[in-house]
């Protein structure tokens, strides 16, 4: 079955702009999580959505937000972009429930460059 799909794969924005990233989870997966990867920082948890509700949130400012739709697809938005927001944004889906092994299935990521 198809894996986690993220769009766009690459994008360039300027400071002050806003950006929306999209994620389509694996069919049947109800949980979608977002992570930010920057050099030297590893992957940092942004938030997790399950059944259209934010279930967990990391330590990021309010400029970072997300949502999940009834078909489990998710979007994340970053407003008032800063240079430090340049990163690879990774989306992951999981079964989140009975049968959940704790394994996250990651997409290839959206690489955001802020100039």
Partner 1 sequence: DQQVKQNSPSLSVQEGRISILNCDYTNSMFDYFLWYKKYPAEGPTFLISISSIKDKNEDGRFTVFLNKSAKHLSLHIVPSQPGDSAVYFCAASEKLGNEKLTFGTGTRLTIIP
Q: Which residues here bind partner 1, judged by CB under 8 A?
A: 4, 31, 33, 35, 40-45, 48, 55-56, 58, 90, 92, 94, 96-97, 100-109
Query: CA 110, 106, 59: angle at the middle one, nearest 5?
Result: 70
The nearest distance, CB 39 to partner 1, in angstroms, is: 9
Q: Which C-beta is closer to partner 1: that of 90 or that of 112?
A: 90
The nearest distance, CB 108 to partner 1, in angstroms, is: 5
Give one DSSP letter per residue of the chain, joined into a string: ----EEE-SEEEE-TT--EEEEEEPPTT--EEEEEEEETTTEEEEEEEEETTEEEEE-S--TTEEEEE-TTS-EEEEE-S--GGG-EEEEEEEE--STT--S--EE---EEEEE-
**Could you identify the residue written with the tokens 């739709």?**
69
The nearest distance, CB 94 to partner 1, in angstroms, is: 6
Q: Which C-beta is closer to partner 1: that of 5 or that of 79?
A: 5
Q: Which C-beta is closer to partner 1: that of 13 or that of 30?
A: 30
The nearest distance, CB 90 to partner 1, in angstroms, is: 6
Q: Which C-beta is closer to partner 1: that of 33 or that of 72?
A: 33
């Amino acid at each position: 079955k198809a894996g986690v799909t993220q769009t766009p794969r690459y994008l360039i924005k300027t400071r002050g702009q806003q950006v929306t990233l999209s994620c389509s989870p694996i069919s049947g997966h109800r949980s979608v999580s977002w992570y930010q990867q920057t050099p030297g920082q590893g992957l940092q948890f942004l938030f997790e959505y399950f059944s259209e509700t934010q279930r967990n949130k990391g330590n990021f400012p309010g400029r970072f937000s997300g949502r999940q739709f009834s078909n489990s697809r998710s979007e994340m938005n970053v407003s008032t972009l800063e240079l430090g927001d340049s990163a690879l944004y990774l989306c992951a889906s999981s079964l989140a429930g009975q049968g959940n092994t704790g394994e996250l299935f990651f997409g290839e990521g959206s690489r955001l460059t802020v100039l």
